[in-house]
Amino acid sequence: MEKEKITILGATGSIGKNALDVIAMHPERFEVEAITGGNNIELLISLAQQYRPKYVAIANEDYYNQLKEACNHSDIQVFAGQKGLKEVAHIPVDRTVAAISGISGLGVLMEAIPFCNYLLLASKEALITAWPIIKQEANKYQTQILPIDSEHNSLFQLMQTDMLPDNWIEKIILTASGGPFYGHNYEDLSNVTPAQACRHPNWSMGAKISLDSATLMNKGLEIVEAAYFFNVSPKKLDILVHKQSVVHAMLYYCNGNIKAGLNYPDMRIPIAYCLHYPQCVEEHQLPRLDLAEIGELHFEQVDYTCFPSPKLMFNAIEQGRHAVIVANAANEITTHAFLDLKIGFHDIYKINEKITDIIAAQFTVNDCQSIESVLDIDTYSKMRTNKLLQQY
């Protein structure tokens, strides 16, 4: 069997490293064609030495010489900057893993679509801000998009078994771990630190998504992700807090049946699913779920008083994708401001809500029909959020 060539955009991140880990478990099936990083030059060099891709690119051009020097005695071709990332995205491969965090992953992801058969999509900010444009490009080049995000990966699997007419589905539940603070009251959270907020109980992830999990904004973004990816009304989507992160999503049928997607909380499981799709390949090294050991599964309603962020995103979907872009942009700024100790935990939501309220009203859904216009609204919303932050 010929090996499949894989490109990983965002190889130095949590998803990127997990993808490389799964690839290394199947040296007979996969070879790493290209990897990219943002700023973490040491890790990118070490991954290049370990996985021996043909191409490697670093977004920060300042590191070009360092990367070039490190790859001097190999056949690895080196690129840098946005232009370099684009060149790497244009190398034809079987599968591309899109795992750059934030909307900054959008441009290169779009560039990659015509050059891969499968796009394994983790970058949720890119997905929610530009889904119709991404989908149209994928249709044009017959590239199949597979969702890596665990909840959507479960839903994708649940929906594989039947052709589901829309009216068969009564409700779709995404579960939320609740993050490190679930169960605390509002006042308790006023003085939490970035270190506490990023200490996720079940998953080891990048800083932004870990903080998004702590505010439950991550679940808000995922509601949008599910609404767009599966083309379902937000009215049919709901969230249950499930601290164990064992059940990832549930499909409620109109006849009272429920299908649930379960697996051990380890991102390598959905990543492996996408790397092998449509085949189901035995994974000896990935953990199994022992339900007898777990004994009980717990679910509870979301406490929206303490964690209002998902509501912001439910409202944004109703308003239109322009509102989703604004809310996402505000959140990218406020999460970094919190991580930089500039604002408190509750300010994240307050500012996101205020900016979405003011800025989304200035646009309509017709204003975000191209990647350029999506990025324009994003840039403008970020500028306005930064301006508001000066008051803090």
Q: Is the CB of 11 or the CB of 214 nearer to ligand NDP?
A: 11
User: How far is CA 371 from each of CA 87, 134, 259, 367, 377, rounded to the nearest angstrom?
Assistant: 18, 9, 36, 11, 10
143 binds, among ligand NDP, Mg ion, none (CB under 5 to 8 A by kind): none
Please identify, among the stretches 34-42, 89-97, 170-178, 228-236, the one whose residues bind ligand NDP according to the rule CB under 6 A: 34-42
Residues 308-367 within binding reach of ligand NDP (CB under 6 A):
none
Asked whether position 123 contacts ligand NDP by CB under 6 A, the answer is yes
Q: Is the CB of 107 or the CB of 252 nearer to ligand NDP?
A: 107
Which sign, positive or negative, has the C-alpha torsion 239, 244, 245, 251?
A: negative
> In whole angstroms, how close is the CB of 203 to ligand NDP at the nearest point?
5
**Nearest residue to ligand NDP, by Cβ distance, number only:** 13
13 binds, among ligand NDP, Mg ion, none (CB under 5 to 8 A by kind): ligand NDP
Q: Which of 16, 178, 220, 310 binds ligand NDP (CB under 6 A)?
A: 16
Q: Is the CB of 14 or the CB of 381 nearer to ligand NDP?
A: 14
Q: Which of 70, 205, 214, 377 binds ligand NDP (CB under 6 A)?
A: 205
Q: Which of 146, 267, 269, 348 binds ligand NDP (CB under 6 A)?
A: 267
> In whole angstroms, how close is the CB of 21 to ligand NDP at the nearest point?
12
Within 13 Å of residue 98, how many CA atoms lie on the same side as its CB? 32
The site string for ligand NDP over 214-253 (x = CB under 6 A, - otherwise) reads ----------------------------------------
Which sign, positive or negative, has the C-alpha torsion 342, 345, 348, 353?
A: negative
DSSP string, 205-268: --HHHHHHHHHTHHHHHHHHHHHHHTT--GGGEEEEE-TT--EEEEEEETTS-EEEEE--S-TH
CA distance 247 to 300: 13
Q: Which of 6, 20, 71, 99 binds ligand NDP (CB under 6 A)?
A: 99
Asked whether position 149 contacts ligand NDP by CB under 6 A, the answer is yes
> In whole angstroms, how close is the CB of 104 to ligand NDP at the nearest point?
3
Q: Are 17 and 44 in contact (CB under 8 A)?
A: no
Q: Are 275 and 331 in contact (CB under 8 A)?
A: no
Asked whether position 203 contacts ligand NDP by CB under 6 A, the answer is yes
Q: Are 335 and 348 in contact (CB under 8 A)?
A: yes
Beta-carbon contacts of 147 under 8 Å, excluding residues fewer than 6 positions away, are 121, 153, 155, 156, 225, 229, 270, 274
In the chain, what are the helix, strand and coil shares in percent, each to the nearest 5?
50, 15, 30
Asked whether position 122 contacts ligand NDP by CB under 6 A, the answer is yes
CA distance 3 to 25: 13
Residues 101-120 within binding reach of ligand NDP (CB under 6 A):
101-102, 104
CA distance 373 to 369: 7
Q: Output the six-digit token pair for 191.
A: 């003085």
CA distance 123 to 214: 18
CA distance 102 to 155: 23
What are the φ and ψ backbone dihedral angles of 368, each rounded to 5 degrees?
-130, 50
Q: Which of 45, 48, 59, 239 binds ligand NDP (CB under 6 A)?
A: 59
Q: Which of 30, 37, 84, 269 binds ligand NDP (CB under 6 A)?
A: 37
Please identify, among the stretches 35-43, 87-95, 295-303, 342-350, the one whose residues bind ligand NDP according to the rule CB under 6 A: 35-43
> In whole angstroms, how close is the CB of 40 to ligand NDP at the nearest point?
3
- Binding residues for ligand NDP (CB under 6 A): 10-16, 37-40, 59, 99-102, 104, 122-125, 149, 203, 205-206, 209, 267
